[in-house]
Every structure is written in C-alpha cells, then in structure tokens.
A and B are shown apart, each in its own frame.
Chain A
Amino acid sequence: MRDFDAAVIGGGVVGLSIARGLAGQGLRCAILDEGDIAARASRANFALVWVQSKGMGMAPYGHWTQRSAAAWAAFAEELRAETGIATGLRQNGGYALALSEQELDARRAAMMRLHNQPGWDAIPWEVQDHATIARAMPAIGRDVVGGVFCPLDGDVNSLRLFRALHASALARGATYLPDMPVQTIIPQPGGGFLIRCAGRDIAAARVVLAAGLGNARLAPMVGLAAPVRPQRGQILVTEKAAPFLHHATITVRQTDEGGVMIGDSKEEEPADTRTGPGIIAVMAQRAQRMFPVLGGLNVVRTWAGLRVMSPDGFPIYDQSVATPGAFVATCHSGVTLAAAHSELLAPMIAAGRLDPTLAPFSARRFDVPQAA
C-alpha cells in the first residue's frame, strides 16, 4: 500500500504549483519540505511575470514562458476563487530601463537577436524614448535615456502567491509535510518509490523533484540529472509608499502593498545568502538614477537569494527512463512559470508522460559534446 500517488519534493513556488496541479488531477499528493530555515528561492524572488527577454538561445523556453504568462490571469483568478487570496497580478506591460545610450543599444540588439532566432513566435515589444516612458511613469529620472517596453510583462505579489499556492494545494487535498528533508529515494521493484526522510519513510507511486538546488543531489537517485548551481541575487526593499510606480521594470518594482523592491545582482560561486554592502550600494545608485524620488525612501530590508541555475540557464524538465514515474522540474523563474507548472506540466506528470514539446528541456541536452 503506497501512502501517496505522488510525492513532490520541495515546498517552494515550483513544488507547490506542481502539487496543486497534481491534486487537481485527482492524485493523492504529498509535498515534502524542509523546515523554517532553508535556502528558499521562493522567499527571496523578485516576483516578475516576465516575458520580454526570455528565450535567447532556446526558442522553446521563450514560447513556454509566453504560454505561462498568457495563462496567468485565469490562473490567478482560480487561486483567488479557491483560497480567497488575491495574488496582486498586474500584467499591464513592463520596462527594461536604460541609463545610457550604450545600455539601450545593447538591450535593443539583444531583443533583435532574440526575435531573429529560427522558429521564434513574434511577441510585441518596442523601444521607447525618455518622453514616452515619462508619460506612463512620471517618476523616471533624467538619466533614463529610454527602454524596452513589452505589453505582456507584469508582476505579482510573490508572498501572497506563495501562500495562495500553499492554501490551494491543501484545499485540493494535498498533504504538506514540513521538516522532511529527503535523504534518499529508493526506486521499488515493480514500480513506485520509497522516500527516506529524517524521521519517516514515504511510499509514493510517482516522485517529482522540485527541490531547487537540492535537485542536483536527488536526481541521480532516480536516474535523472539536474546539474544546477547557485547564483546569488540581492534585493533591497523600501518602506511602504503611496503607489507611484505604475509598471514593473526588470530591476525596480513597487508591490501592491507599497514597498519598492530593487534587484537584482548576479553573483557566481556565492558563499552564502548574506548581502554585501557594496553591491547593495550599486543597486541603490542605479535605482535612484532611474527614479530619483526613491532616494528619500528608507530601506527596511535587504536579502540575498540563491537562483537555481542550470548550465545554460534554462529550465530542466525530465522524466526518468531508468525508473519510470520519476520527474524533475527545476528553473529560476518559478513565478512566471507557476501557471504553466500548475496547468500544463502537472497534467503531463499525472498522465505519466511529458509532452514532446518539453523534449528540448531534458537534461540530456548537456550531454551533447560542444562543437569545436
């Protein structure tokens, strides 16, 4: 007798999105999570639902992102109806602001390269000058020379999303098991898995690895690979202010509660999740140049999170050939992709087989020898 139809390892935004989807498919689903202190990207993210720059080097990732962003409105409404929690979704278009002509040129060139990829589905975007942006965002500073606007971009209240996913998964019958760090996963003869945790063993027909950086250790136990590494990103957040930033930008956004979030750095080989005063200062400088009024706001918190990065930066979705019933899902855009994970990926896992459209995301892509 197995305890669960599926065990999702990881109680962050990725794991909860999948678990919620699996429970919605009628599976008896367990979410195995760590405790109060853990490296949780879900508690440290920047909460963008972001499309404009996604997919350079892998067109299917761009398309997957676009599908998720397009599904987000209905997804948010469903979460609200199930849990009473509004996720604060705002998809009124977002900006990548440039503080010099050089930055703007680089941004424009990147967008062109993205769109010139073979097999790319065009998305709307445009380069706007200072005056045009100032009409939508009067708070921009003189140093903003222009920016890229994409009407598909937006943001969400990440903590309320986190809670709504949790509540929805529970409401759909999933079982949340905290303080259950997974030690080993043992495929059982005849199918199914025994998951050995610190204090308890769980038997499940399927196992879904959604443990972020933890996937690197867990995946080989079930014939999968998830070669992910941590990349540190720092964020600072101000006290609450009356609403004045009416669109999200890729590095500065105002939450619906009033605080302004400023991010994000990109640091390889991080030692820990501490923040560094120098990097915080650079972020503060740039944010103040983009929106000079930010200078007077008090910063109340800074934090660092560890992004879950694969070698090429794109997600890994895979199913095990050696031990059928084992799946892995790992990415660094769990918020943007929450709708896709819950509404598209989870039904595939419930059906026992990933759709061929997800084949490009297999970790087998890292096995291909690099061309000389």
Chain B
Amino acid sequence: MYDVAVLGAGPAGMAAVAELAGQGGSNGARVLWLDENAAAGGQVYRGIAEPLKLLARSYRPARKLFEAARGTDAEYIPGATIWHLDPGATLGFSVSGVARMVEARRVIIATGALERPMPVPGWTLPGVMTVGAAQTMLKAQGLVPQGRVVLAGQGPLLWLYAAQAIAAGAPPALILETRPAGNMWRALPQLPGFLVSHYGWKGLALLRRLRAVPVKRAASLRIEQAGDELRVTWPRGEALADHVLLHQGVVPHVNLAQAAGCALEWREDQACFTPVTDAWGESSVPGIAVAGDGAGIAGAEAAECSGRIAALAALYALGRIDAAARDGRAVRWQKRRAAWGRGRAFLDALYLPSPAQRRAAPDAIACRCEEVTGQALIDAARAGATGPNQTKAFLRCGMGPCQGRQCALTLVETIAAARGVEPSKVAPLRARNPVKPVSLAEIAVMPVSEADEAAVLSRR
C-alpha cells in the first residue's frame, strides 16, 4: 500500500513528487511515481535530461524542478502504462509487458493535455501529423521535417513550434491560420491582463521571430493526396506540401480520471470536458485529485503550482502536516498560479476554434480508429441518437484502440450541432478501464479473490 501515487511526470507530476518529499528530503510518505514515458518532463519538457541547444534556455526554469523530483525517494517507474484506476484507488499498470496491481491511499492524476482533434477532410493521410507530434520529434530526437512544411491551425503551440523550427533552420513554407476573425474582439477585454502577464512578453517576442514565414488566413481547409505530395486547399487558395502539421489547441487528457469515476463538466470557455475539482485539485471521487492541464488547460507553470497544491492536500489528508502548514505552504503556489492564470483567459478566447472547426465535416473522418465520418454521425443523430454513447452503439465510433482520445470531443460537438443543442447538454463519451490496451495474459495473472472466482464459475 502506497501513501500517494502520482501519475504522470510532466510539470504537475514532478511538482507533486517534489512537494510530497518536502524540503530537504523525505517526509515519510511512501510515494509511487509512474510515467508512461521513458524520461520525466512530460510533453512540454520532453528531453529535459539532455535538451537540444535551442531548447536549453526555455527548459532552464524547469530543470530545477526536474532535479528536485528525481532526487526524492519516490519509487519512480518510467515506461509504465497505466491501464486501470478505480474509485478504491486500485491501480493497474504495465512495464515492458508485465502488469502489476497496487493500492494507494491518495492518487494525484497528472496526465496533462492532448491536442484537440482537428477533424478536417484528409487529416488521416500519411504525412499529416499534429504540430505537437513534430515538436515531440524535435525535442526528443532532434528531428525536423524537411521539404515544404505547411502548418495549419491556431493556438500558442503552433506559433511556438514555428519559431523553434525557424531556429532549427527548417522554417515552415506556409502557416495557414484558422483562428476565427471574431475571436480577437471576444478576446479584447482580456488583453490588458495578458499584456501584464508572463505570457505577454513571451508572445510578442515569439511573433517577431516569425516575420519571415508567409501566413495566410483560412477558416477551413482540406487535405488530399496528390501523387506523393499532399494538396492543402482552403477557400482562397491551395498549396502542395510534403508535410502538413495540424493544431487547434490542447484539451485535458481525461480518460484516466473518467475511468476512475471522476465527474466531468463541460467548460464553455475552453470547449471541452474537464474533471470537476475543488481548489485543492480533489475530484468528485474522494482520495483522487487531478492536477495540471488534466484538470483544465492552464499551462506548464500553473501546472507546477497545482501539482504542489494537490501534494499539500494529500499530505494533510494523510495526517503528515496540519492545516496551518498546508495553508502556509500553499500560499506561494496559489499566488503564482493566479498570476499565470491572468494571461490565460486572453489566449483561451483568442484561440478557441469555432464550433464548425470543432465538428467533423460530413466528408471528414471523425473517429480515426473505426473510420466513422461526420455524415454518419449526423445521420445517427437524425435517427434519434442523442449523444456519443448511443452513437457508439450505432456506429462503433470511440470503440477503437485510442478509446475516444481522438474523437470524443468531435462526437459531442457534431451530434450537438446536428440536434441543435449546446454541447454542454450532451453527455461525454464514457471511458472505461482498461484505459489503455493491455494484453489478456497480463490481466489473467492479476490477483483474484474467492468471490471473484465464484462470480464467474457459477455460470457453469
């Protein structure tokens, strides 16, 4: 039995582990720290152990955090695929094809974000990747795409990657910006907060470096195979490309929290489902907290703060610190989190894709695994399916190996529009254990009770 299990090693996970250990070493809590990746850092600080020269400066502040977390006596297991979490905090994970099932008194889910689906026609073609995927290859392997690279979409990550690619000597041939024209007006009231925030100067410095790349505006686009190349078409033009990189923001990666039974709510300003959490990160399931972008997109710096805050709440719940110590130590992180939050509202409003951009076009694939089109979803809604779960029964969408990670939001938005209701009125796609595929042989050797045996053998 562990005191705390921290799931994920991005900024929130690293911070939680560092805080659980306390200043200057251990505070006695037995901590299990699992991460799916081979090295800590998460997506945002991928490759932090040996960063590329062009990333070294931006990684510097996180470096201390990385070292603090790695220096604790937490039982750190990288390369761990977590496939089971239930409300009793029983946790199933596999490392190199060997599964284990453990229990923890408290769980801090820090599984971060994933890119919002961008279901344009042709997004499944080979050669089309997400901007995040290209950035992962840049950070982890030092690989940059060559030839004509078209970036299409919107959001801070798209611009950040473009600047990194320029710095790497591989500038994109074209950026197709899909940001809805009206977003600037909607975002304007948040501009003062942004300009004085930490994001403000970062953003302006970034945009200066991008002057050399042609930028065109496109509300929509489609991609087709054209011989060995890809043809990108938008209302006012077309371009041939060797690589197309898509991005329209990031959303919380909620599958694990959802499988554990944590309640989700629709967040209008970010157009996504988010686990319901209190100020300490505690979810609707007692003992399970969600920290970092997995609890709502707030960025890496805020994720560190919420990881610390969730860790302090866990220490308090375990009786390791008293309320005064918890509150006292939390103040600093709460303030910092609030400071980073100030610039966020502007970015959320500026880069929120339009409802049409969040739906699958009739001729676009919505569910990549089961190859279900937008039209099929519209037809199912017309036949009476009111949400993604009934639609799943009709069309198998969301039933493939990705388990809805690439389509859950698209299903909700497409069905909502077909029914003429707000997405908030549509239930989320259910996520169930195992949240990642795991071999039958691994499940078969998990511990069983006599009652478990009886429940199955009574069939005979």
User: So, do A and B actually touch in the complex, CB under 8 Å?
Assistant: yes
CB within 8 Å of B: which of A294-351?
Answer: 294-303
A287 with B460, Cβ < 8 A, contacts A281-B447, A282-B452, A302-B432 known: no
Binding site for B on A (CB under 8 A): 11, 33, 35-37, 40, 42-43, 98, 103, 106-107, 159, 162-163, 166-167, 170, 176-179, 236, 238-239, 250-251, 257, 262, 264-267, 274-288, 294-303
Listed by A's residue number, 26 A-B pairs whose Cβ atoms lie within 8 Å are A36-B385, A37-B389, A37-B430, A40-B393, A159-B393, A163-B393, A170-B384, A178-B386, A179-B386, A251-B459, A262-B440, A265-B455, A265-B459, A266-B456, A276-B452, A277-B90, A277-B92, A278-B447, A281-B443, A288-B444, A296-B441, A299-B434, A300-B403, A301-B399, A302-B432, A302-B433
Extra 11 A-B pairs, beta carbons < 8 Å, given A35-B386, A166-B394, A276-B452: A106-B460, A166-B383, A166-B384, A277-B86, A277-B92, A278-B446, A279-B456, A282-B453, A282-B457, A285-B444, A300-B400
Is B437 interfacial (CB 8 A cutoff)?
A: yes
Tell which of B387, B395, B427, B439 touches A298, judged by Cβ atoms closer than 8 Å.
B439
Tell which of A177, A295, A303 touches B439, judged by Cβ atoms closer than 8 Å.
A295
Q: Which residue of A lies closest to B460 (CB)?
A: A103
Is the Cβ of A239 less than 8 Å from the Cβ of B401? yes
CB distance from A235 to the nearest CB of B (A): 11
CA distance A35 to B426 in the complex (A): 10
CB distance from B264 to the nearest CB of A (A): 12
In this complex, which of B90, B444, B452 has the most chain A Cβ atoms within 10 angstroms of its Cβ? Answer: B444
Binary flags per residue of B251-273, CB closer than 8 Å to A gives 1, else 0: 00000000001000000000000
Q: Which residue of A lies closest to B443 (CB)?
A: A284
A257 contacts across to B, CB distance below 8 A: 396
Is the Cβ of A170 less than 8 Å from the Cβ of B383? yes
Is the Cβ of A238 less than 8 Å from the Cβ of B440? yes
Tell which of A33, A250, A264, A295 touches B441, judged by Cβ atoms closer than 8 Å.
A295
A107 contacts across to B, CB distance below 8 A: 460
Is the Cβ of A159 less than 8 Å from the Cβ of B439? no
Is the Cβ of B449 less than 8 Å from the Cβ of A278? yes
A236 contacts across to B, CB distance below 8 A: 440, 443
CA distance A298 to B393 in the complex (A): 21
Is B84 interfacial (CB 8 A cutoff)?
A: yes
Is B101 interfacial (CB 8 A cutoff)?
A: yes
Is the Cβ of B459 less than 8 Å from the Cβ of A266? yes
CA distance A223 to B8 in the complex (A): 57
In this complex, which of B86, B445, B457, B460 has the most chain A Cβ atoms within 10 angstroms of its Cβ? Answer: B460
CB distance from A279 to the nearest CB of B (A): 5
Is the Cβ of B84 less than 8 Å from the Cβ of A282? no
CB within 8 Å of A: which of B357-408?
Answer: 383-390, 393-396, 399-401, 403
A167 contacts across to B, CB distance below 8 A: 383
Is the Cβ of B439 less than 8 Å from the Cβ of A277? no
CA distance A266 to B451 in the complex (A): 11
Is B438 interfacial (CB 8 A cutoff)?
A: yes
Q: Which residue of A lies closest to B84 (CB)?
A: A277
CB distance from A88 to the nearest CB of B (A): 13
CB distance from B385 to the nearest CB of A (A): 8
A277 with B459, Cβ < 8 A, contacts A178-B384, A301-B399 known: no
B101 contacts across to A, CB distance below 8 A: 277
Q: Which residue of A lies closest to B390 (CB)?
A: A36
Q: Which residue of B lies closest to A294 (CB)?
A: B440
Q: Which residue of A lies closest to B453 (CB)?
A: A282
A43 with B393, Cβ < 8 A, contacts A277-B84, A301-B432 known: yes
Binding site for A on B (CB under 8 A): 84, 86-87, 90, 92, 101, 261, 383-390, 393-396, 399-401, 403, 426-427, 430, 432-434, 437-441, 443-449, 451-453, 455-460
CB distance from B444 to the nearest CB of A (A): 4
Q: Which residue of A lies closest to B398 (CB)?
A: A301
Is the Cβ of A288 less than 8 Å from the Cβ of B440? yes
Q: Which residue of B lies closest to A11 (CB)?
A: B384
Is the Cβ of A275 less than 8 Å from the Cβ of B433? yes
Is the Cβ of B437 less than 8 Å from the Cβ of A299? yes
Is the Cβ of B394 less than 8 Å from the Cβ of A284? no
CA distance A257 to B395 in the complex (A): 12
A286 contacts across to B, CB distance below 8 A: 456
A299 with B455, Cβ < 8 A, contacts A36-B389, A178-B386, A284-B444 known: no
Is the Cβ of A35 less than 8 Å from the Cβ of B387? yes
Is the Cβ of B393 less than 8 Å from the Cβ of A162? yes
CA distance A77 to B114 in the complex (A): 44
CA distance A286 to B395 in the complex (A): 30
In this complex, which of A40, A98, A170, A275 has the most chain B Cβ atoms within 10 angstroms of its Cβ? Answer: A275
Is the Cβ of A299 less than 8 Å from the Cβ of B439? yes
Is the Cβ of B445 less than 8 Å from the Cβ of A300? no
CB distance from B344 to the nearest CB of A (A): 31
A36 with B386, Cβ < 8 A, contacts A163-B394, A298-B439, A300-B434 known: yes
Q: Which residue of B lies closest to A280 (CB)?
A: B443
In this complex, which of A37, A98, A103 has the most chain B Cβ atoms within 10 angstroms of its Cβ? Answer: A37
In this complex, which of B390, B434, B451 has the most chain A Cβ atoms within 10 angstroms of its Cβ? Answer: B390
B432 contacts across to A, CB distance below 8 A: 275, 301-303
CA distance A287 to B459 in the complex (A): 14
CB distance from A319 to the nearest CB of B (A): 28
Across the A-B interface, give the 10 residue pairs with the lowest CB-CB distance, nearest first.
A36-B387, A295-B441, A278-B452, A298-B437, A284-B444, A281-B446, A176-B384, A284-B443, A285-B444, A282-B456
CB distance from A50 to the nearest CB of B (A): 13
Q: Which residue of B lies closest to A103 (CB)?
A: B460
A277 contacts across to B, CB distance below 8 A: 84, 86, 90, 92, 101, 433, 443, 446
Is the Cβ of B452 less than 8 Å from the Cβ of A300? no
A287 with B384, Cβ < 8 A, contacts A159-B393, A266-B455, A277-B84 known: no
Is the Cβ of B459 less than 8 Å from the Cβ of A176? no
CB distance from B238 to the nearest CB of A (A): 36
CA distance A178 to B440 in the complex (A): 37
Q: Which residue of B lies closest to A42 (CB)?
A: B393
CA distance A223 to B399 in the complex (A): 41
Q: Which residue of B lies closest to A301 (CB)?
A: B432
Q: Which residue of B lies closest to A262 (CB)?
A: B440
CA distance A288 to B387 in the complex (A): 35
Q: Which residue of A lies closest to B393 (CB)?
A: A43
CA distance A177 to B427 in the complex (A): 18
B456 contacts across to A, CB distance below 8 A: 265-266, 279, 282-283, 286
